[in-house]
Amino acid sequence: MHFSSVPTVDVTSVPADAVLLDVREDDEWAAGHIADAVHVPMMQLPQRLNYEPGPLTPERPIVVVCKMGARSGQVTAWLRHQGYDAANLTGGMLAWARAGKPMETAGEAPPRVI
């Protein structure tokens, strides 16, 4: 499955019961992320699902997030191939920030998308 053909969800229609999965790298996450999102960098996801899936289960809808939507599109395609109910967040964190949606940061600086 090519990642451009995966289901997408707009920032204004993220399901309330969805797990937000942020697949960006640690520095991107630290600069600014969605509150309550689960952070698993893209390359660590297969191992994480095998050993410590937490809320990432095939039964719960997952909305995958990266900066713009390319990495999360690839992850969404992979998750769907594994049997998960996953959708890609259209426009990624840039769209989230543009929409004025709440973000938090790991440091003192205001949250931002890098």
Q: Which residues are identified as catalytic?
A: 66
DSSP letter (8 states) at residue 33: B
> H helices of 10-112, where?
26-31, 45-51, 70-81, 92-98
Evaluate whether 92 touches 75 at the Cβ level (below 8 Å). Answer: no
DSSP letter (8 states) at residue 15: -
